[in-house]
């Protein structure tokens, strides 16, 4: 079994969309409430560009997870801060894929000159929060009842990793 992380290609948009929409329909790890189309994901992928890479984790050339750096805020003073996101095909959980993708994003962000990475996590997702903490992210904020999905209020914790002093 050969595993690798590479930059996402436009041809990956359907599987990225499929992985993401699984969580849109079944989970509070994203606050989207309606599935996205492949065209939506393709536009999203194209908008990321070199500054905000999208990566995929492949096992024997099959995409089983993806991650991205996203602009934290459009104002210029935030240009050295990015948000991290990662989603794993539910059939591939608990195999270190999220850790590998997040480590890779940290390395890419550092090489791109980012100073701070931020990750927002619904507090129901303990494993995601623990993963970020294990890689040096610190919880810096917690907002209560800021999201509503599946007829319940949800809290979000924000984690920060400072890359360069």
Q: What is the CATH number of the domain that holds 67?
A: 3.40.630.30
Is pLDDT of 165 > 60? no
pLDDT in tens, 70-82: 999 999 999 999 9
Is pLDDT of 92 > 90? no
Query: What does the alpha-carbon distance between residue 66 and residue 129 come to, in Å, rounded to a whole number?
Result: 18
Is pLDDT of 83 > 70? yes
More confident residue, 162 or 93: 162
- % of the chain exceeding 90 in pLDDT: 92
Is pLDDT of 164 > 80? no
- State the total domains in the chain: 1
Nearest to 112 by CA among 49, 50, 48: 50
Cα radius of gyration rounded to whole Å, the chain: 15
pLDDT of residue 136: 97
pLDDT in tens, 31-53: 999 999 999 999 999 999 899 99
Residue 142's domain comprises 3-162
pTM comes to: 0.93
Residues 30-69 as b or e (16 or more Cβ within 10 Å = b): beeeeebeeeebbebbeebeeebbbbbbbbeeebbbbbbb
Give me the chain's average pLDDT, please.
96
Is pLDDT of 23 > 90? yes
């Amino acid at each position: 079994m050969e595993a690798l992380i590479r930059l996402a290609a436009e041809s990956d948009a359907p599987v990225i969309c499929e992985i993401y929409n699984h969580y849109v329909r079944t989970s509070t790890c994203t606050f989207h409430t309606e599935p996205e189309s492949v065209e939506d994901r393709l536009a999203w992928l194209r908008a990321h560009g070199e500054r905000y890479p999208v990566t995929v984790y492949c096992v024997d050339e099959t995409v089983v997870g993806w991650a991205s750096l996203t602009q934290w805020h459009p104002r210029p003073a935030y240009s050295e801060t990015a948000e991290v996101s990662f989603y794993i095909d539910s059939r591939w959980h608990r195999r270190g894929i999220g850790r590998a993708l997040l480590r890779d994003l940290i390395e890419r962000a550092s090489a791109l000159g980012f100073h701070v990475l931020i990750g927002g996590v619904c507090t129901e997702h303990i494993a995601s929060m623990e993963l970020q903490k294990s890689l040096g992210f610190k919880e810096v904020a917690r907002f209560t009842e800021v999201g509503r999905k599946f007829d319940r209020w949800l809290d979000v914790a924000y984690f920060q990793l400072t890359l360069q002093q």
